[in-house]
Amino acid sequence: MDDQGLSIREVAEQTGVSLHTLRYYERIGLLDPIERTTSGHRRFQSHDIRRIEFLKRLRATGMPISKMQHYVELFRMGDRTAVERREMLVQHRQAVLSQIDALGETLQMLETKIDNYDRQLATMEEEA
């Protein structure tokens, strides 16, 4: 990234987060106000990209936007909120682990069904 930062389009391409979502995240305070050129175009810096990547992962794991906003508010308050932020992430980690367990169970069920179909199709081929 050059000293001038990245345009919103470049950030969208780099992060996989849509232009609409980037603007929305800035509007609702998940992102700090993005620097602007004299012509008013957004210029994202490396710290903005790191925040976007973190937020993207939180959303991908199902964290509600309201909780993400709370986390960002705490982050802005500085080190005195480190314990609370850590606890939020510990709780979210547990939710993610539960999701992983549930997905593992679902994957096992799918594997069993596929194996059943493979056996059924093999039997049908033998009979033909």
Burial of 48 (0-12, 13-18, 19+ CB in 10 A): buried
**Do 96 and 48 lie in a common domain?**
no
**Do 86 and 72 lie in a common domain?**
no
Amino acid making up residue 15: T
**Do 43 and 96 lie in a common domain?**
no
**Do 88 and 63 lie in a common domain?**
no
Considering 57, 77, 97, which residue would you say is the last residue of a domain? 77
Please count the structural domains in the chain: 2
Q: Are 23 and 8 in contact (CB under 8 A)?
A: yes
What pLDDT was estimated at residue 127?
86
Which tens digits make up the pLDDT trace of 21-73? 999 999 999 999 999 999 999 999 999 999 999 999 999 999 999 999 999 99
**Do 57 and 113 lie in a common domain?**
no
Distance of CA 15 to the CA centre of its chain: 10
Residue 28's CATH number: 1.10.1660.10
**Do 60 and 114 lie in a common domain?**
no
Domain of 41, in residue numbers: 1-77
78: alpha, beta or left? (left if phi > 0; alpha if psi -120 to 50): left
Of the chain, the percentage scoring pLDDT greater than 70 comes to 98
**Do 72 and 124 lie in a common domain?**
no
The structure's pTM equals 0.84
Mark 58-89 as b/e (b = at least 16 C-beta within 10 Å): bbeeebeeeebeebbebeeeeeeeeeebeebe
CB contact set of 9 (below 8 Å; sequence gap of 6+): 19
**Do 73 and 93 lie in a common domain?**
no
pLDDT above 90 (res 2)? no
pLDDT above 70 (res 76)? yes
Helices and strands (H, E) in the chain, number of each type: 5, 2
**Do 67 and 96 lie in a common domain?**
no
